[in-house]
Amino acid sequence: MIITKIEMKDIVELQQDSYTNLIAPMDDMYENGIIPLCTFYSIKENDEVIGFFAVQNKLIMQFHVINEYKKDMIELFSKIVELSNIEGALVASYDKILYNLSKSKAESIKENDLLFKEGPSVDIKPPFKNIYYYVVKTDEIEKFISYFNEIGLGGDWIKPYIIERVKKAELYAFNTGGTLLGTGEIRLSDSSHNIVNVGMSVSPQYRNKGLGTFILSTLRKIAKTQSFKAICSTNITNIESQRAILKAGFVKYHSIDIMKFN
């Protein structure tokens, strides 16, 4: 077995093939925010690329081999962990192959992020009068970059992120009387058909009033009118976000876990 450092663009087809093994839609913050930051390696046998894996901070995050070598997965995985000095995994429970391989070597498993899908419909009443929403336009990009910076979600990533959301008509503003209450996002999944990822933010002065739940509930309705099913996620430490998500009618169905290997 030969392991060679490569770029993510070198294994696009293999990566897409790996997604067919997932048992549930992939969270896009993991897919587009975390995975691209990994270091990627090809796996070769007899001068043939038979798979790849991805690592960040000595944690394996993706692993895939072509069908002809699936019978050898356990042996290949063990060799990779040993040769690459991998200390653990950051892996989603919907990635059953990597999850089970990692679990077999884990001395500890801890939930890091929680993933939710739509549950029963709920009717959430607006917490303020005359709330309206609209899709953010190009001429408002700087305004919303400033907004996200002000609420503590700034950084080098925020400008290109907002530009991309506005370009794709995925960012919604929720207002009342001309005052910005918060935002919502409906992001089309790159890897799952008919799935959108929803997210929200709330201006600090309007938090703890049910606005986050209302925004998520509204996003669910918008997604439904477009024939999409909504999923969302949050960190295990974000209790307020979890409450808003559950009240909006979402149910937990998977998690992204950190595993420490023996």
Asked, for residue 262, whether it belongs to a domain, the answer is: no
In the predicted model, residues of the chain with pLDDT beneath 50 are none
Asked, for residue 260, whether it belongs to a domain, the answer is: no
Residue 192's alpha-carbon distances to 4, 64, 235, in angstroms, are 29, 18, 22
Q: What is the pLDDT of residue 147?
A: 96
Regarding whether 191 and 68 lie in a shared domain, the answer is: no
Which of the listed residues 61, 79, 104 is the one where a domain comes to its end? Answer: 104
3-state secondary structure of 9: helix
What would the pLDDT profile of 202-222 be if each residue is shown by its tens digit? 999 999 999 999 999 999 999
Regarding whether 249 and 168 lie in a shared domain, the answer is: yes
Regarding whether 130 and 88 lie in a shared domain, the answer is: no
- Total domain count, the chain: 2
Q: What is the pLDDT of residue 214?
A: 97
Q: What is the pLDDT of residue 191?
A: 86
Rounded to whole angstroms, the Cα distance separating 236 from 181 reads 25
Regarding whether 217 and 125 lie in a shared domain, the answer is: yes
Regarding whether 160 and 96 lie in a shared domain, the answer is: no
Regarding whether 76 and 172 lie in a shared domain, the answer is: no
Q: Which domain holds residue 222?
A: 116-255
Regarding whether 251 and 127 lie in a shared domain, the answer is: yes
Residue 67's alpha-carbon distances to 15, 38, 64, 232, in angstroms, are 13, 24, 9, 31
What's at 6, amino acid-wise?
I
CATH of residue 27's domain is: 3.40.630.80
Asked, for residue 189, whether it belongs to a domain, the answer is: yes
Q: E strands along the chain, which residues?
A: 2-6, 39-45, 48-56, 59-65, 88-92, 106-118, 131-135, 171-176, 179-188, 195-202, 229-235, 250-261
Asked, for residue 56, whether it belongs to a domain, the answer is: yes
Rounded to whole angstroms, the Cα distance separating 235 from 82 reads 30
Regarding whether 189 and 138 lie in a shared domain, the answer is: yes
Regarding whether 167 and 133 lie in a shared domain, the answer is: yes
Asked, for residue 110, whether it belongs to a domain, the answer is: no
Asked, for residue 109, whether it belongs to a domain, the answer is: no
Rounded to whole angstroms, the Cα distance separating 158 from 151 reads 12
Asked, for residue 261, whether it belongs to a domain, the answer is: no
pTM: 0.90
CATH of residue 180's domain is: 3.40.630.30
Whether 218 contacts 128, CB under 8 Å: no
Regarding whether 133 and 7 lie in a shared domain, the answer is: no
